[in-house]
A and B are shown apart, each in its own frame.
Chain A
Amino acid sequence: MATETLTAVATADGGGPRRRRGGTRSNENLAGWLFVAPVIVILGLFLLLPILMALWVSLTDWNGQGSPFTGDVPFVGAHNYTQLFTEDGLARRDFMTSIRNNIYYVAIVVPAQTVLALGLALVVNNRMLKGKSFFRSAFYFPSVTSSVAISVVFLFLFANSGAVNALLGVVGIDGPEWFADSRGVLHLLFGAVGVDSPPAALADGGPFGLSWWDWLAGPSVAMVSIITLVVWTTSGTFMLMFLAGLQNVPVTLDEASTLDGASRWQRFRYVTLPMIRPTTFLVLTLGMIGSWQVFDQVYVMSQGDPAKTTLTPAYLSYRTAFRDFDYGSGAAISFVLFLIIIVLTLIQRRALAERDTDRPRRGWRRRRVPERS
């Protein structure tokens, strides 16, 4: 407060002492820029500049030879982008396959990790239980370990003669070859009722060069094992967020609704859930943003196989650039992915900003909900 007044004075009077005060101000101005300079240089040089460079490369056919910023590199305009959407070919088929895979991935990972995280948080938040902090740490520990190291462990768990199949064997299920079977789980379900080939209506004609049968196959069992791994590693982080949210629910509110005769489910549904809605929203959107970035696990566990069923846009962009040496297409895929993630982030930030502005009113309304029910 005091410094603000001081500067207000310094800027308000423009008389004699101005030079000296102006001196300390420009001193602070210089110091400010010096203090932030290292961060600006590093983030500018290795984050902003490279994005611009990649934007240029995505408009060329650079193959990794020499510098992409000379006149020798063929400029192709938006071709790298149009071939992902409008031209029938391998590039579009792979890209759309990766989008399909990632949609299934998001559709399972986000709800599963949110429900699991909330469930764990509710149990850990229970006042009657002892030893909660041990279990809280146990649930959170996988989140802090190396994604590569954990993927190695899960490769072993899901190996043909691995722990998961051994466990399935105990209950009499013959487990699949997790990383060799490319059939989607929906296809497997259809197969179980005797439908092995696509009905004529679905055999072709789907959007973007993939047949309806391909779009509707469901995730492959290989993808299911990656999904399991990711849900297992991320739930702990989101559990902590839910815990923080739950601790903001006033105990009195819970007690009041208990006195009013609300059942456990009613209290959860009409008191707890509305009170932690901001956290739930945060977890859902962070989950969606994160789920479009899955890369490490795919790289270590499956490299996009079997039959491209674990190909994701992030991995496809890497593979296109660094394995097929088609840096232009690879960069174009990253920018499409970038766009998807930025849109999700903007939606999240806008909603959070709205929430912050009308919080008191909605807080009041929420408090009234249990009375109404």
Chain B
Amino acid sequence: MAVLTDRPAAAPARRQQRAARTLATRFLGYATLVFFGLVFLYPFVIQIGNALKTEPDAAANPLSPFPDPLTLAGFERIFAGTNFPLWLGNSLLVTVLVTIGRVFFDSLAGYALARLRFRGRGGLFAAIIAVMAVPGVVLLIPKFLVLNQLGLYNSYAGLVVPLLADAAGVFIMKQFFESIPVSVEEAARIDGASIFRTFWSVVLPMAKPALITLTILSFQGSWNEFPHSLVSVQDPDLFTLPRGLADLVSGSLGKGTQYPLKLGAALLATIPVAIIFVVFQRYFVRDANDGSDKG
């Protein structure tokens, strides 16, 4: 009874209180978002700003995003004083070849593991899962040894061939193919299409979302790839962008600070991935969540 009589009087006050609390929560939420938005994006703003500064300006006002005076001298020196165009060309070549190879070979293998019944399939899939756990950094010396032994060290083949397939890509494709209904393939097979034909013209077109994911993943991975280029080539003519950048920072051009130049080169190396990220964002998000599924 006490509760009942109490209620009408207390309700407006409580509602008001709750509204105030909601407002406070919302304000706090936005404040947090903006603060961390700055933390995560401001370094890029600083990078762009300082790439367009003169060297003394960058040293004196590192926090300011506004160049004073604005100059393209850093970028001019990137193209005139470094091998940047060469690195860019090498990176493009490697990225395109690796991406094509991974998308094709990973989907072939993923399809076989998902659909074709062949002896040793279970063991092979277990091996793929095991390979996914092999950490890249412990492969530095092994990769060098095998490339050296095969005569591929210091060659484009050495940069590209070892990256043409990856276990994680096979896994992604297998998972996807398993989610496609079998009936369509069966119809094609009954009509007399060969296995490869069925795969190529019936199944693959249905796998577009997974193919886009894998393309983006391979592009981003091979564009950013650094340790592999470190142990597969030594000749500066074969440097990719990350390798050239690392050399720029620690190597011959490391003399003096030259921050506008270095930041500009790093910026140019980031732009392609940034564009792809903005355009294909949802595929990136999907990838990260696939990661949480596969463990």
Residues of A within 8 A of B (CB): 1-3, 7, 25, 27-33, 35-36, 38-40, 42-43, 45-51, 53-54, 57, 67-69, 119-120, 123-124, 126, 128-129, 131-132, 135, 137-142, 144-157, 159, 161-163, 166-167, 232, 236-237, 240-241, 244-245, 279, 282, 286, 289, 292-293, 295-296, 299-300, 303, 314, 317-318, 321-322, 327, 330-331, 334-335, 337-338, 341-342, 345, 348-349, 352
Q: Determine whether the beta carbon of B121 is less than 8 Å from that of A32.
A: yes
What's the minimum C-beta distance from A282 to chain B, rounded to whole angstroms? 6
8 residue pairs bridging A and B, Cβ less than 8 Å apart = A31-B118, A36-B109, A50-B142, A54-B142, A157-B62, A240-B285, A293-B137, A318-B230
The 7 A-B pairs with the shortest beta carbon distances in the complex, nearest first, are: A32-B118, A50-B142, A35-B112, A46-B162, A32-B116, A149-B266, A54-B142
The interface residues of chain A lying within 8 Å CB-to-CB of B183 are 2
Indicate if B186 sits at the interface (CB-CB under 8 A). yes
List, in ascending order, chain A residues with CB within 8 A of B288's CB. 140, 237, 240-241
Cβ contacts under 8 Å, A317 to chain B: 137-138, 140-141
Q: How far is the CA of A35 from the CA of B164 in the complex (A)?
A: 15
**Chain A residues with CB below 8 A from B99, complex form:** none
> Chain B: residues with CB nearer than 8 A to chain A?
22, 25-26, 29-30, 32-33, 36-37, 39-41, 43-44, 46-47, 50, 58-63, 105-106, 108-109, 111-113, 116-119, 121, 124, 128, 131, 133-146, 149-150, 161-162, 164-165, 167, 170, 182-183, 186, 195-196, 199, 220, 223-224, 226-227, 230-231, 241-242, 245-246, 249-250, 257, 259, 262-263, 265-267, 269-270, 273-274, 277-278, 281, 284-285, 288-289, 291-292, 295
B195 CB contact (under 8 Å) in A31, A131, A345: A31
Identify which of A29, A146, A167, A327 contacts B118 (C-beta below 8 A).
A29
Complex Cα distance, B25 from A196, in Å, reads: 46
> Cβ of A159 and Cβ of B116 under 8 Å apart?
no
Do A153 and B47 touch across chains, with their CB atoms under 8 A apart? yes
CB-defined contacts of B278 to chain A, threshold 8 Å:
137
| Other-chain residue from B59, B60, B224 in contact with A147 (beta carbon distance below 8 A) | B224
> In whole angstroms, how far apart are the Cα atoms of A334 and B220 in the complex?
26
Query: Do A146 and B29 have beta carbons less than 8 Å apart?
Result: no
Q: Which residue of A lies closest to B105 (CB)?
A: A38
Minimum CB–CB distance from B180 to chain A (whole Å) comes to: 13
Docked complex Cα distance between A144 and B26 (Å): 29
Contacts of B138 in A (CB 8 A): 314, 317, 334-335, 337-338, 341
A149 to B271, CA, bound (A): 11
Determine whether the beta carbon of A149 is less than 8 Å from that of B26: no
- Extra contacts, 8 of them, besides A42-B164, A53-B149, A327-B145 (Cβ < 8 A), are A28-B195, A29-B118, A32-B121, A33-B112, A42-B165, A47-B131, A146-B226, A334-B140
Q: Which of chain A's residues has its CB closest to B285's CB?
A: A240
Q: Could you tell me the distance in whole angstroms from the C-beta of B97 to the nearest C-beta in chain A?
A: 13
Which residues of chain A are within 8 angstroms of B227 by Cβ–Cβ distance? 295-296
CB pair B108 A36 closer than 8 Å? yes
CA distance A349 to B129 in the complex (A): 11
**Cβ–Cβ < 8 Å partners of A338 in chain B:** 134-135, 138
Interface of B is mostly: helix
CB-defined contacts of A50 to chain B, threshold 8 Å: 139, 142-143, 145-146
The answer to whether A153 and B263 touch across the interface, beta carbons within 8 angstroms, is: yes
- Which residue of chain B has the shortest Cβ distance to A31 in the bound complex? B195
Bound-state CA distance A342–B130 (Å) is 10
Task: Judge whether A31 and B59 touch: CB under 8 Å.
Answer: no
Cα of A123 to Cα of B136 in the assembled complex, Å: 33
- Contact across chains for A69 and B149 when beta carbons are under 8 A apart: yes
**Considering the chains assembled together, what is the distance between the CA atoms of A166 and B291 in angstroms?**
38
Residues of A within 8 A of B195 (CB): 27-28, 31
* Complex contacts, A31 vs chain B, CB 8 Å: 112, 116, 118, 195-196
- A129 contacts B29, CB within 8 Å? yes
Q: In the docked arrangement, what's the CA distance between A220 and B149, Å?
A: 40
CB atoms of A146 and B292 under 8 A apart: no
The answer to whether B108 touches A46 (Cβ under 8 A) is no
Given the known A-B contacts A47-B139, A156-B62, are A163 and B224 also in contact in the complex, defined by CB atoms under 8 Å? no
Q: Is the Cβ of A38 less than 8 Å from the Cβ of B36? A: no
Closest to A320 in B: B141
**A138–B34 alpha-carbon span in the complex (Å):** 10
A132 CA / B26 CA spacing, docked (Å): 12
- Cross-interface CB contact of B182 among A2, A27, A148, cutoff 8 Å: A2
| Contact call B22/A128, Cβ cutoff below 8 A | yes
B139 touches A39 (CB 8 A): no
Instruction: Given the known inter-chain contacts A38-B108, A156-B50, please indicate yes or no for A57 contacting B62, CB distance below 8 A.
Output: no
A330 to B140, CA, bound (A): 10
Q: In chain A, what residue has the closest Cβ to B23?
A: A128
**Closest-CB distance, B111 to chain A (whole angstroms):** 6
Q: In the bound complex, how far is the Cα of B135 from the Cα of A337, in angstroms?
A: 9
